[in-house]
Chain A
Amino acid sequence: MSGQPGEHTDPAVAFEAAKLGVWTFLATEVLLFGALFTAYTVFRIKYPEMFRAEHAKLDRVLGAVNTVVLITSSLMVVLGVDAIKRGKARLLEAYFGATILLAAVFLLVKYTEYTAKFHHGLYPDTNIFFSLYYMMTGLHGIHVLLGMGVLSYVIVLSRRGRLSEAWCTPAEMSGLYWHFVDLVWIYLFPLLYLIG
């Protein structure tokens, strides 16, 4: 993804190819999370009362706070990509830095939530609702962590002067991935915290 187009490659073609590559990757991600959403649907239909009772044990205020944190982080990515398209590398680094900071806040909130649940004896093997809760938010958390790595890499590229208004594909592609991570949480939040 760092690869600048070679001298024989049209930058516009390279950009389109990278974009289709990321969308293909995101397609596999939809199916990865999709399997868990399917499991959620099956068990929610099978045990509606249990889901109703168990989901009330989650803190929907903390869930909402994390939703706002991720939405804000997505806006930072939008503004960062917009900055590099205007040739402002330092501004891109600041916005992507803010995104990484917000991602850390998200994980910190998630950590306090997990800790609180453990204190109340709610573990991944407590019941099928909490199995799904830990599995889905855990897999999503790993994606947040990976996203932080990818965004850091883009900042490094930018600091090395490798990004400009003429070539900012890595910034745009990492943005696509980050928005997808936000998008998954947009579904996880109501399914787990609001309607169980």
Chain B
Amino acid sequence: MAHGTGQDRRTGIAVFVALLLLTVVTVLVSYVDLGLWNVVVALLIASAKASLVALFFMHLKGESRLVWGFALFPIVFLSLILIGTLTDTMLR
């Protein structure tokens, strides 16, 4: 339970500005037809934003390996569900 510092606020505002910029970029890119790359770019930007939120707003950056484990294990399961479902539906 670290005490609030000016550093916390500065980091919060910097992450906020980065999230706003990435939102603007992803909306602008969506108006350009890049074919399949639109999906790739949109997901990469979304993942960059999600990482910023998890690392800084949710404090994952300074967390113990135990908390990291709790945060990552559902993502492993979600990948399993996705891969399992897709190998079924696409190869049917």
Q: Which residues of A contact B (CB under 8 A)?
A: 11-12, 15, 19-20, 23-24, 26-28, 30-31, 34-35, 37-38, 41-42, 45-46, 60, 64, 67-68, 71-72, 74-75, 77-79, 81-86, 165, 168-169, 175-176, 179-180, 182-183, 186-187, 189-191, 193-195
Chain B facing A: main interface SS: helix
* B74 surroundings in chain A (CB, below 8 A): 26-28, 30-31, 34
> A23–B70 Cα gap in the complex (Å)?
6
Q: Is the CB of A186 within 8 A of B71?
A: no
> A82–B5 Cα gap in the complex (Å)?
7
Kindly state the interface size class of chain B when it binds its partner: 35 or more
* B66 surroundings in chain A (CB, below 8 A): 20
Given contact pairs A11-B1, A31-B78, A86-B3, enumerate 6 new A-B contacts (beta carbons under 8 Å). Answer: A27-B73, A42-B85, A45-B90, A75-B13, A186-B53, A194-B26
Taking CB atoms and an 8 Å cut-off, the chain B residues in 54-78 that contact chain A are 54, 57-58, 66-67, 70-71, 73-75, 77-78
> A42–B5 Cα gap in the complex (Å)?
46
> A64–B49 Cα gap in the complex (Å)?
14
The residue on A at minimum CB distance from B40 is A195
* A15 surroundings in chain B (CB, below 8 A): 1
The residue on A at minimum CB distance from B73 is A27
